[in-house]
């Protein structure tokens, strides 16, 4: 596999053209403190086994090079921190690959500019719409928003078509005045519109000496939504450049801004190989603030992707910007998006609706959108409003599977692709939407992890899993951000030598639309009252926490109220595949498995600690 940077990245392989390149490095590990690229197992050291029916793929990784030891007791794969830039295979330093030192905790950016903003989030505005449609004449019943009675939870007196249009504007990304999130869709159909090119900066002689690209993100609840999914570094391949972030932290978005940059090394002469992944900063952000921060990057030829995640809510608070030049299976990543959603999905309402039509009907965002469209066309309808609100609750929780998706009881985790997003649930884990599922079964090499993949979208998705330093080692500068209201000293500014667990991708077939769905079945008042009485003690014991053990049929408990039950299936035939990972090394403390769709990456991620 080779990278050719002019005019596009091209890797000659039937395998995925994202990360791996051939390598002539020896497989014998060097001393742990070496800064020559840490050798990694050759692709041939991995084993891939596809079942005869094509529905299961097993990956067996090579043996880890470090002494066998539980990293939570004695992390032998923790490398000594070296306060210097990383070196490529040619022995030259790669600029801007040291993000923090004791003398300069924020080594890759100046002090950010922070200003106050309106912190109202899309969740706030959608909740406000539903609240306005509820009866207010029965105080004290239901949750603290003031439900009506069970038979009449919504009132036509509060229903306004302007609210319906507002909800559609939020989902589609139409302009909304006085909102920081204005113009950024909450549905993920517009990848072709999210391509940004680094604008080169030249000296007096016309020589390119740098460049910049601007990125706008909004952070709230479990979401990071962005106006950028792809960065084109074609004009700055040989020079460092800057990404200037405008970060709007909305209600419940408080976080440490810690973009994790993944770099490759093309200097060895035999393709681009995995190099390091590193936190570029670890800067606290507070609700109701705009943070503008220019981050210094390595040269464009080293750029692989930037992974934005939330330590406070991870998974699923996550978003990625990919290299627009990458080729996967004969097509650039941008072309994968374009072939699915069109050249310009936001060129017209018709183009927008055609693109949204590619999103599976079981996606909570799509269910909301369809319900609001019905309300726009047909007026007040309590059943349709109830379905929209139920989908709204499920849209907020990507650590649970939405209606219509059945968990595989034999898998360690079940992942569901919908709206270019991954919803997931780990077997046996009781979580609310702020918890971190932890894969406790993997502490030592030899662990076998089974992942069931289900595709609800009407286009294929892919699956790969990446190791962040377990195989090749990781280091940590242990900067303490507690004094500035950060997350502390345990995970800040890590730098890991990354590697693939799946050197070739798994494809998950598209869902096939079924006949028109009959819609959800709404329980009668008597059924709901009976079920509510049965679980009332558990509800009040866990007032702000719904648990799957309390909810075996998928009837979400939300602050003491059961919402209507959706059918097991809407008639779609969902795409399925099973992946088995046999992991013959110890994980790093930072992150056990980074799992994502390599073809449509931006939100389709479900990593696990």
Q: Report the pLDDT value the prediction gives residue 373, as an integer from 0 to 100.
A: 97
Measured CA angle at 458 (ends 457, 463), to 5 deg: 55
> What does the alpha-carbon distance between residue 317 and residue 252 come to, in Å, rounded to a whole number?
12
- Within 8 A by CB and 6+ apart from 185, the residues are 171, 172, 173, 225
Helices (H) and strands (E) in the chain — how many of each?
7, 30
Instruction: Write the CA distances from 144 to 25, 433, 531, integer angstroms.
Output: 62, 19, 20
Residue positions counted in the chain: 609
> What does the alpha-carbon distance between residue 35 and residue 82 come to, in Å, rounded to a whole number?
8
pLDDT at position 9 over 50: no
Q: Report the pLDDT value the prediction gives residue 597, as an integer from 0 to 100.
A: 96
Nearest to residue 321, comparing CAs of 302, 338, 339, 303? Answer: 303
How many other C-beta atoms lie within 10 A of the C-beta of residue 527? 13
Please answer whether residues 576 and 453 qualify as being in contact, where contact means their C-beta atoms are separated by less than 8 angstroms: yes
For 305-339, how does the pLDDT look when each residue is reduced to its tens digit (9 = 90+)?
999 988 777 777 899 999 999 988 788 999 999 99
pLDDT at position 380 over 90: yes
- For the record, the structure tokens of 130 come out as 């539903």
Measured CA angle at 7 (ends 5, 13), to 5 deg: 60
- Within 8 A by CB and 6+ apart from 20, the residues are 1, 43, 271, 273, 274, 500, 503
Sorting pLDDT into bands at 50, 70 and 90, what band is 491?
low
Sorting pLDDT into bands at 50, 70 and 90, what band is 578?
very high
For 268-288, how does the pLDDT look when each residue is reduced to its tens digit (9 = 90+)?
766 788 899 999 998 999 999
Q: Report the pLDDT value the prediction gives residue 269, as an integer from 0 to 100.
A: 66
For 400-449, how does the pLDDT look when each residue is reduced to its tens digit (9 = 90+)?
899 999 999 999 999 999 999 999 999 887 654 445 678 899 999 999 99
pLDDT at position 296 over 50: yes
Check residues 32 and 481 and name the one with the higher pLDDT.
481
Mutual angle of helices 122-132 and 382-395, in 10-degree steps: 160
SS (H, E, C) 216-285: EEEEECCEEEECCCEEECCCCCCCCEEEEEEEEECCCCCEEECCEEEEEECCCCCCCEEEEEEECCCEEE
Q: Report the pLDDT value the prediction gives residue 591, as an integer from 0 to 100.
A: 84
Instruction: Write the CA distances from 2 to 19, 239, 279, integer angstroms.
Output: 10, 20, 27
Q: What is the DSSP string of 14-27?
A: SS-SSS-------S
Check residues 273 and 493 and name the one with the higher pLDDT.
273
Q: Report the pLDDT value the prediction gives residue 152, as an integer from 0 to 100.
A: 58
Q: Report the pLDDT value the prediction gives residue 135, as an integer from 0 to 100.
A: 67
Sorting pLDDT into bands at 50, 70 and 90, what band is 355?
very high
Please give the span between the terminal C-alpha atoms of the chain, in angstroms, as a whole number. Answer: 31
- Within 8 A by CB and 6+ apart from 211, the residues are 198, 199, 200, 201, 233, 235, 236, 239, 241, 242, 300
Instruction: Write the CA distances from 568 to 406, 415, 521, integer angstroms.
Output: 8, 17, 10
Would you report the helix, strand and coil content of the chain in percent, each value rounded to 5?
15, 25, 55
> What does the alpha-carbon distance between residue 17 and residue 68 come to, in Å, rounded to a whole number?
32
Please answer whether residues 112 and 282 qualify as being in contact, where contact means their C-beta atoms are separated by less than 8 angstroms: no
* pTM, to two decimals: 0.84
Please answer whether residues 1 and 13 qualify as being in contact, where contact means their C-beta atoms are separated by less than 8 angstroms: yes
For 165-189, how does the pLDDT look when each residue is reduced to its tens digit (9 = 90+)?
999 999 999 999 999 999 999 999 9
């Amino acid at each position: 596999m080779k990278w050719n940077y002019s005019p596009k990245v091209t890797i000659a392989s039937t395998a995925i053209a994202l990360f791996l390149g051939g390598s002539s490095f020896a497989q014998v590990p060097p001393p742990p403190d070496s800064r020559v690229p840490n050798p990694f197992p050759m692709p041939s050291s991995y084993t891939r086994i596809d079942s005869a029916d094509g529905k299961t793929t097993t990956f067996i990784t090579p043996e880890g090079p470090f002494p066998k030891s539980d990293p939570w007791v004695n992390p032998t794969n923790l490398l000594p921190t070296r306060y210097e830039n990383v070196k490529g295979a040619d022995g030259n330093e790669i600029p801007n690959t040291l993000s923090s030192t004791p003398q300069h905790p924020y080594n890759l950016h100046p002090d950010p500019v922070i200003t106050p903003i309106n912190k109202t989030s899309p969740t706030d505005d959608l909740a406000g719409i539903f609240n306005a449609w509820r009866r207010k004449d029965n105080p004290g019943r239901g949750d603290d928003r003031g439900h009506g009675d069970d038979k009449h939870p919504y009132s036509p007196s509060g229903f306004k078509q302007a609210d319906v249009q507002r909800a559609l504007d939020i989902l589609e990304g139409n302009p909304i005045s006085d909102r920081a999130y204005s113009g950024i869709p909450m549905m993920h159909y517009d990848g072709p519109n999210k391509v940004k090119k680094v604008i080169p900066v030249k000296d007096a002689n016309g020589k390119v000496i740098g460049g910049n690209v601007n990125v706008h993100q909004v952070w709230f609840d479990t979401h990071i939504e962005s106006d950028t999914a792809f960065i084109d570094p074609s004009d700055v391949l040989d020079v460092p450049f800057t990404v200037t972030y405008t970060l709007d932290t909305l209600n419940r978005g408080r976080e440490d801004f810690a973009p994790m940059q993944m770099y490759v090394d093309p200097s060895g002469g035999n393709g681009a190989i995995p190099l390091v992944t590193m936190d570029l900063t670890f800067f606290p952000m507070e609700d109701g603030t705009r943070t503008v921060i220019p981050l210094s990057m390595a040269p464009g030829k080293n750029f692989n992707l930037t992974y934005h995640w939330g330590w406070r809510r991870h998974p699923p608070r996550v978003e990625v910007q990919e290299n627009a030049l990458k080729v996967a299976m004969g097509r650039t990543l941008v072309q994968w998006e374009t072939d699915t959603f069109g050249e310009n999905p936001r060129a017209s309402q018709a183009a927008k609706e055609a693109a949204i039509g590619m999103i599976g009907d079981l996606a909570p965002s799509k269910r909301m959108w369809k319900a609001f469209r019905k309300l726009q066309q047909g007026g007040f309808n309590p059943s349709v409003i109830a379905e929209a609100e139920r989908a709204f609750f499920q849209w907020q929780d990507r650590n649970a599977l939405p209606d219509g998706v059945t968990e595989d009881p034999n898998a360690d985790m079940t992942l569901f692709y919908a709206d270019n997003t991954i919803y997931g649930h780990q077997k046996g884990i009781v979580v609310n939407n702020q918890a971190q599922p932890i894969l406790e079964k993997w502490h030592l090499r030899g662990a076998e992890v089974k992942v069931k993949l289900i595709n609800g979208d009407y286009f294929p998705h892919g699956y790969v899993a990446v190791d962040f330093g377990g195989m090749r080692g990781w280091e940590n500068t242990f900067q303490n951000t507690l004094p500035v209201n950060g997350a502390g000293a345990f995970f800040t500014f890590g730098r890991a030598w990354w590697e693939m667990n799946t050197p070739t991708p798994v494809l998950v077939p598209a869902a096939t639309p079924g006949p028109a769905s009959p819609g959800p079945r709404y329980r009668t008042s008597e059924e709901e009252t009976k079920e509510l009485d049965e679980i009332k003690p558990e509800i009040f014991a866990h007032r702000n926490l719904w648990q799957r053990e309390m909810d075996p049929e998928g009837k979400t408990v939300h602050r003491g109220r059961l919402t209507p039950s959706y059918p097991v299936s809407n008639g779609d035939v969902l795409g399925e595949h099973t992946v088995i990972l046999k992991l013959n090394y110890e994980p790093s403390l930072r992150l056990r498995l980074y799992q994502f769709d390599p073809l449509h990456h931006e939100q389709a991620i479900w990593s696990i600690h």
